[in-house]
Chains A and B, each alone.
Chain A
Amino acid sequence: KNQVEQSPQSLIILEGKNCTLQCNYTVSPFSNLRWYKQDTGRGPVSLTIMTFSENTKSNGRYTATLDADTKQSSLHITASQLSDSASYICVVNQAGTALIFGKGTTLSVSS
């Protein structure tokens, strides 16, 4: 079964700290992996897209990694800010079809 699993389900960190979110997938055939940020009640906003051949991609304070062999990805957030509080969703594009979404990790950044 094609699935995208994320951990942890939720996370609370202090402002200025770093954190890493995990994503494991069993989607096949694989086309690309995306990380989205979703504020409460809003549509998701894309952070990164990585193909099979890409190991790392950065977008400001966000750095995503991909290990296509182990089917794992991570999203690292550096020097967190209050505005980083949101749900972070890992999405895998199954080649030839649509996007398969994880349930997301809810990040809360406190001052």
Chain B
Amino acid sequence: DAGVTQSPTHLIKTRGQHVTLRCSPISGHKSVSWYQQVLGQGPQFIFQYYEKEERGRGNFPDRFSARQFPNYSSELNVNALLLGDSALYLCASSLVGVDRGRRDGYEQYFGPGTRLTVT
């Protein structure tokens, strides 16, 4: 069974440009979360989607947006790129959202990430 897949693997963009990152969750998983990981730091939560609805949003500007499709795959869009957006963007899938209240939560499985470099 395939794990979480992300595309592209690497991406180089120029300041001011727009970028779209894609994620396909594990088959049967209905929740996708996006994280930004700057070099030397832990991942920072950006968005969580469950059943095509936004279920959580981190402290990121409106330049960041996302959506989830009927097949549960997801896109992360970033407009007006800044140098500080350079990071590893991670996608994680789970059966349901981590905010569903189960004390043991549902395991999140991370994809390999997309390395975005903004010049």
Contacts and interface: CB of A to CB of B under 8 A. Distances in A.
Q: Is the interface of A mostly helix, strand, loop or mixed?
A: strand
B72 interface: no
- Chain A: number of interface residues, binned into ranges: 20 to 34
A102 B42 contact: yes
Interface string B96-119: 001101011101111111010000
Q: Is the interface of B mostly helix, strand, loop or mixed?
A: loop
B48 interface: yes
Given A32-B103, A43-B4, A98 B41 contact: no
Contacts of B4: 43
Interface in B58-109: 58, 88, 90, 92, 98-99, 101, 103-105, 107-109
A67 to B, nearest CB: 17
A103 B113 contact: no
B24 interface: no
A99 B45 contact: yes
Nearest to B35: A101
Contacts of B103: 31-32, 51-52, 95
Given A49-B104, A98-B48, 11 more contacts: A31-B105, A41-B88, A43-B113, A44-B90, A51-B103, A96-B99, A97-B56, A99-B45, A101-B45, A103-B41, A103-B42
